[in-house]
Amino acid sequence: MNIHETQDRETCYALRHQVFVQEQGYSAEGEIDELDPVSIHLLAEQDGTPIGTARVFIKEDTAKIGRVCVLRSGRGTGLGARLIQAAVQVARQNKMARVVLGAQAHAVGFYEKLGFRAFAEPYLDEGEPHQMMEKNL
């Protein structure tokens, strides 16, 4: 398994489209947004095949992790946790004070195990309950 920063956003977009649009039913129109061109993209590969991605948007003293996804074949392998750890490492390398993310409600426990804590009120994103979470660095 290899996780690295990439300039190949098209591959990241394709992974996100498969997971978020095709599997989870989110709209394709909102999947690529204004943060993509100015974010750091991570790509996870298994034997050279793209299997997961995440992005990190840096602003002031905060890094925002987003668009984290793993193909079905890579779920349950620890890859999601490794992607989040890699994104947190990007934040540390950029000397951020904290990392935030918007977690799907069913994934809150996953992020808590990685040291994140919930803050703010839950919210809906395309009808799906989400929770803002943070980790101080």
- 76: domain CATH number is 3.40.630.30
- The residues, any chain, with a CB within 8 Å of residue 68's CB and separated by 6 or more, are 52, 53, 54, 80, 83, 84, 87, 101
- 128: containing domain: 2-136
Count of structural domains within the chain: 1
Question: In Å, how far are 8, 23, 30, 64 from 126, measured between CA atoms?
Answer: 27, 14, 10, 19
Digitized pLDDT (tens) for each residue of the chain, 137 residues in all: 899 999 999 999 999 999 999 999 999 998 999 999 999 999 999 999 999 999 999 999 999 999 999 999 999 999 999 999 999 999 999 999 999 999 999 999 999 999 999 999 999 998 899 999 999 99
pTM of the model: 0.95
